[in-house]
Amino acid sequence: MTALTPTAPGCPSGLSPVTARDTKTGYAGFVRDVGDEHAIDLVVRGAKCGGCLSKIEKSVSALPGVTQARLNLSSGQMRVRWTGPLAADRIAQTISDLGYGIAAQAADTGAADKAREERSLLISMGVAGFAAANIMLLSVSVWAGYGEMGEATRQTLHALSGVIALPVLLFSGRHFFRSAWAALRKGHANMDVPISLALSLAFGVSVFETLRGGEHAYFDAVVMLCFFLLIGRFLDARLRRQAHAAANALAAMQTSAVTRLTDKGDALSVAARDVAAGDRILLAPGERAMVDMRIFDGVSDVDESLVTGESLPRTFSPGMTLHAGAINVSAPLRGEALKVVEESLLSQIGEMLEAGEQRRSAYRRIADRAVSIYVPFVHTTAALACLGWLLLGASLPDALMIAAATLIITCPCALALAAPVAQVVAAGRLFRKGVYLRSGDAFERLAEIDHIVFDKTGTLTLGTPKLESMTLTGQPVPLDSPDAKAMLADAASMARVSHHPLSRALVTTAGPGAAQESVREIAGCGLEASVDGQTWRLGSANWIGTDKALAVASGPSLWFARAGAPAVQFRFVDNVQPGAADALNTLRAQGIELEIVSGDQNSAVASLAGTLGIADWTGEASPQAKVARLETLRNQNHRVLMVGDGLNDAGALSLAHASLAPGAAIDISQSASDAVYSGGLEAIPLILRVARKTRAIMRQNFALAAAYNVIAVPIAVTGHVTPLVAAIAMSLSSIIVTLNAMRLQIEE
Amino acid sequence: MTIIVYLIPVALGLGLLGLGAFIWSIRSGQFDDMQGPAYRILDDDDDTPA
């Protein structure tokens, strides 16, 4: 194996943003023993291309004792097997250090069920496809030999077709029969009722015709119907399973471990769900709080950006309450769990998500509306055709045959394919642009948007501060001057040991280098180190003891002081996302209203709103306030798109008519959204455009299916449907609908 | 025409063979990841444990 060269973290193709690193602990509880090997199932987030795949697999394989490391790029699931004493935490840390999100895979029976359903649909589809091809082979000889073929030969070929069709009908058709039966027992009808009826009626009539030596048997139509319908069913199941996998990330987050302190003061790693109120918990630097806790020991800076939307850390001291989702930055904190995991903020947001999901599932999809018109129409037509022919003096078998032909030819192949094919093609196109869609029906909701609510930090801005300028005794120092570089290198050598966002920003600008060993982090103040007997300090102005008059105000800043030398000021800005202005202008030109609702301080929100020219803004909004704002907009009959990344946005995301989260968003927000985009805000106009186009294509497809029925029904009712006509009509309608959906691939 | 007595079963047998291969490939998980293998073939390191 070639040595790994150090590379930039995250996806080398830039398809997905780098995930913030934190310390990985508690994976030991998820290790299984397989024979004499250990195995763990992980979920990797942010792996999008071949570069990610080989980077992750190679790094994990290089760990001592690893025998298998295989990542599924479609689902993000990774299975690692190893022998020997390697700790599972180290595997997780390795992947995290590469810049990817990582979680232990929760025991999730739902996902396994969905995967099994998809697999069984695929097998059923294969079986139906095999039978359709073979029966068609026999049917073509019957059609080609029409008038010349002997009756005995024809009957043999029909019988053979029937023998192939029967097991296929029972095996592949069971999906429809089961679903139709379940619906009928509850006293209503779904799409599967006419399908089941058409399949069994057509099969029964064909058996009857074969036995009495008739000319027409519809075995080919029966299996072909099965085949086409199963294609649509399979595509739909695959989209839904992908959506489910994303939702699962939330469960994965709650499987994380917590360090509990025993009465003797020993640290014990337990699953977050096993924590009880009153437990004493140790929160190490870099760790994310899983339960709400009251601090009783330790002083530390805490990054609450995902909870409150505030961009800079806040100092926590004993007596203060820390919410779940916050990340400890500087020093260990000891606290008492206030609630069990189920009652913590994280879970409350989880409940908000569920409420939103329920409301969303009440949305009536175009396909549902089409079916509700289609089902009674077809059944009435078939029944009327049967009755009409009986009244006109036809025999019962002939009348039934015509009813069956009506059901076959109007059977919703095109209808069943119309929506899933369009959604799959559109989702594929967005996927190549770095947009990962979570639900197929999201297209319909996204197409209706007329108002967008943005979160600020991490959505409109990059969310990570960036070094903007340096000043020395009130004079600006150009960042590329040798003096500046030397000072920056010294400051960065201290900053490298810290998790504080501003320290990280310094290190990012300074690039790789050595780290000081004697650095102490003093929460709320900064870093202190002794270098060659001198004291170096990097931190707030007050703590450094600098002259206030020399400070350049506005925005976050760090001061760096070496004994005897004047202090340097580093100033930082949270930059607006590149391309944000263009994207917002495009949206505005489409007549969409824009608004910012942020948890950050009013001054910060106001200045950003000014820069971007957004008149409507709200600052210092709590998660509940965001939810309330969305309720208000909803009551004003707005179709709101919420774009946000933080834990504080999750409730609002799930409540909005449609929602998007950037790829750097916390798992919980990603699972609350309809789609996750990577890259900048320019993805939003693209998503909306594709969504509107998808809706248009879906409507066209339903119109095509309806037009096809308008032509086909008279032919069927008048008794002119032969098996050949049925086969051609059925394939043609499905092919036209599929080709129309393919137009979504075309870029404007 | 008696030839079709042999030919049809042969045709069906071949079809079933293909179907069997398809079902085997689904069962052995070859359809689980639709994106990864396309990239994995480009990886030069053949000795990566699989």
Give the pLDDT confidence of A202-214 residue by residue, as tens digits: 898 889 889 988 7
- Residue A521, strand partner residues: A527
CATH number of the domain within which A537 lies:
3.40.1110.10
Quote the pLDDT of residue A130.
Answer: 92
CATH number of the domain within which A306 lies:
2.70.150.10
* Mutate: best of B5, B6, B39, partner A, most A CBs <10 A: B39
Is the CB of B15 less than 8 angstroms away from the CB of A68? no
Q: Is the pLDDT of residue A1 over 50?
A: no
| A44 domain residue, yes or no | yes
Mean pLDDT of chain A: 80
Helices A413-432 & A723-742 angle (0-180, nearest 10): 20
Give the pLDDT confidence of A34-53 residue by residue, as tens digits: 888 888 888 787 777 778 88
Cβ-contact A412, A231 below 8 angstroms: no
Closest chain A residue to B27, measured at CA: A119
| A327 domain residue, yes or no | yes
The answer to whether A71 faces chain B, any CB pair under 8 Å, is yes
Is the CB of B16 less than 8 angstroms away from the CB of A130? yes
* Mutate: best of A2, A72, A149, partner B, most B CBs <10 A: A72
Domain count, chain A: 3
Which residues does A415 contact at the CB level (< 8 Å), separation at least 6? Answer: A191, A367, A370, A371, A374, A702, A705
Closest chain B residue to A431, measured at CA: B35
Pairwise CA distance, residues A245 & A75, whole Å: 7
Closest chain A residue to B41, measured at CA: A50
Residue bearing the bigger pLDDT, A302 or A349: A302
Confidence of residue A4 (pLDDT cuts 50, 70, 90): very low
The answer to whether A63 faces chain B, any CB pair under 8 Å, is no
Residues of chain A with Cβ-Cβ distance to B15 below 8 Å are 130, 133-134
Identify the residue whose tokens are 């649909």: A121
Confidence of residue A688 (pLDDT cuts 50, 70, 90): very high
Quote the pLDDT of residue A5.
Answer: 43
Pairwise CA distance, residues A706 & A703, whole Å: 5
Confidence of residue A428 (pLDDT cuts 50, 70, 90): confident
Cβ-contact A339, A292 below 8 angstroms: yes
The last residue of one of the domains, among A351, A372, A390, is: A351
- At residue A111, what is the residue type? A
Pairwise CA distance, residues A501 & A505, whole Å: 6
Q: Is the pLDDT of residue A109 over 60?
A: no
Q: Is the pLDDT of residue A501 over 60?
A: yes
Pairwise CA distance, residues A463 & A469, whole Å: 18
Give the pLDDT confidence of A526-568 residue by residue, as tens digits: 888 888 878 888 888 777 776 665 555 566 788 888 877 778 8
Share of chain A above pLDDT 90, in %: 10
Confidence of residue A692 (pLDDT cuts 50, 70, 90): very high
**CA atoms lying within 13 Å on the CB side of residue A635:** 6
- Residue A596, strand partner residues: A454, A617
| A147 domain residue, yes or no | no
Closest chain B residue to A152, measured at CA: B1
The last residue of one of the domains, among A82, A105, A128, is: A105
Q: Is the pLDDT of residue A395 over 80?
A: yes
Is the CB of B48 less than 8 angstroms away from the CB of A1? yes
A–B interface: beta-carbon pairs under 8 A: 72
Pairwise CA distance, residues A178 & A155, whole Å: 32
Confidence of residue A520 (pLDDT cuts 50, 70, 90): confident
Quote the pLDDT of residue A496.
Answer: 80
Residues of chain A with Cβ-Cβ distance to B39 below 8 Å are 49-50, 53-54, 73
Quote the pLDDT of residue A165.
Answer: 94
Residues of chain B with Cβ-Cβ distance to A126 below 8 Å are 19, 22-23, 26
Quote the pLDDT of residue A371.
Answer: 73
Quote the pLDDT of residue A20.
Answer: 52
Of B23, B40, B47, nearest to A53 by CB-CB distance is B40
Is the CB of A67 less than 8 angstroms away from the CB of B8? no
Residues of chain A with Cβ-Cβ distance to B31 below 8 Å are 119, 122
Is the CB of B11 less than 8 angstroms away from the CB of A137? yes
Q: Is the pLDDT of residue A97 over 50?
A: yes
Is the CB of A72 less than 8 angstroms away from the CB of B32? yes
The C-alpha angle with vertex A10 and arms to A6 and A13, in degrees rounded to 5, equals 100
| A397 domain residue, yes or no | no
Cβ-contact A100, A19 below 8 angstroms: yes
Share of chain A above pLDDT 70, in %: 85
Give the pLDDT confidence of A476-489 residue by residue, as tens digits: 778 778 888 888 88
Taking CA atoms, A269 is separated from A297, A345, A347, in Å, by: 19, 21, 21
Quote the pLDDT of residue A451.
Answer: 93
Is the CB of B26 less than 8 angstroms away from the CB of A126? yes
Lowest mean pLDDT among A166-170, A240-244, A356-360, A696-700: A356-360
Three-state DSSP class for A558?
strand
Q: Tell me the nearest-neighbour CA distance from A50 into chain B, angstroms.
A: 5
Is the CB of A126 less than 8 angstroms away from the CB of B15? no
Q: Tell me the nearest-neighbour CA distance from A68 into chain B, angstroms.
A: 6
The last residue of one of the domains, among A533, A550, A573, is: A573
Of A71, A119, A160, nearest to B26 by CB-CB distance is A119
Pairwise CA distance, residues A204 & A280, whole Å: 70
Quote the pLDDT of residue A6.
Answer: 46
Q: Is the pLDDT of residue A170 over 90?
A: yes
Within 10 angstroms of residue A680's Cβ, the number of other Cβ atoms is 16
Residues of chain B with Cβ-Cβ distance to A171 below 8 Å are none
Is the CB of A75 less than 8 angstroms away from the CB of B50? no
Residues of chain A with Cβ-Cβ distance to B12 below 8 Å are 134, 164
| A512 domain residue, yes or no | yes
Quote the pLDDT of residue A416.
Answer: 76
* Mutate: best of B2, B6, B26, B30, partner A, most A CBs <10 A: B26
Three-state DSSP class for A337?
strand
Query: β-strands A451-454, A593-597: how paired?
Result: parallel
Pairwise CA distance, residues A698 & A743, whole Å: 11
CATH number of the domain within which A93 lies:
3.30.70.100
Is the CB of A123 less than 8 angstroms away from the CB of B23? yes
Pairwise CA distance, residues B38 & A206, whole Å: 45
Within 10 angstroms of residue A661's Cβ, the number of other Cβ atoms is 31
The answer to whether A49 faces chain B, any CB pair under 8 Å, is yes
| A687 domain residue, yes or no | no
Q: Tell me the nearest-neighbour CA distance from A15 into chain B, angstroms.
A: 14
- The answer for A 159-178 residues in CB contact with B (under 8 A) is 160, 164
Q: Is the pLDDT of residue B8 over 80?
A: yes
Cβ-contact A544, A537 below 8 angstroms: yes
Q: Is the pLDDT of residue A359 over 70?
A: no
Lowest mean pLDDT among A87-101, A275-289, A363-377, A673-687: A363-377
Residues of A acting as catalytic residues? 455
Sign of the Cα pseudo-torsion (A178, A180, A183, A187, in order): negative
Q: Which of A368, A374, A421, A379 is nearest to A701 (CA)?
A: A421
Cβ-contact A53, A71 below 8 angstroms: yes
DSSP state letter for B34: S
Quote the pLDDT of residue A89.
Answer: 83
The answer to whether A61 faces chain B, any CB pair under 8 Å, is yes
Cβ-contact A130, A48 below 8 angstroms: no
Domain hosting A31: range is 27-105
Q: Given 3-state DSSP classes, what are the helix, strand and coil percentages for chain B, each rounded to the nearest 5? A: 60, 0, 40
Query: β-strands A314-316, A300-303: how paired?
Result: antiparallel
Is the CB of B45 less than 8 angstroms away from the CB of A119? no
Confidence of residue A655 (pLDDT cuts 50, 70, 90): confident
- What's the full length of chain A, in residues? 748
Query: What's the farthest any 2 CA atoms get from each other in chain A?
Result: 113
| A70 domain residue, yes or no | yes
Quote the pLDDT of residue A340.
Answer: 63
Q: Is A85 exposed, middle or buried (0-12, 13-18, 19+ CB in 10 A)?
A: exposed
Three-state DSSP class for A315?
strand
Confidence of residue B46 (pLDDT cuts 50, 70, 90): low
Of A1, A49, A134, nearest to B15 by CB-CB distance is A134
Q: Tell me the nearest-neighbour CA distance from B32 into chain A, angstroms.
A: 8
| A597 domain residue, yes or no | no
Is the CB of A134 less than 8 angstroms away from the CB of B22? no
Lowest mean pLDDT among A234-243, A383-392, A462-471, B2-11: A234-243
Mean pLDDT of chain B: 81
Identify the residue whose tokens are 């006293």: A187
Is the CB of B26 less than 8 angstroms away from the CB of A123? yes
Q: Which of A285, A290, A286, A280 is nearest to A258 (CA)?
A: A290
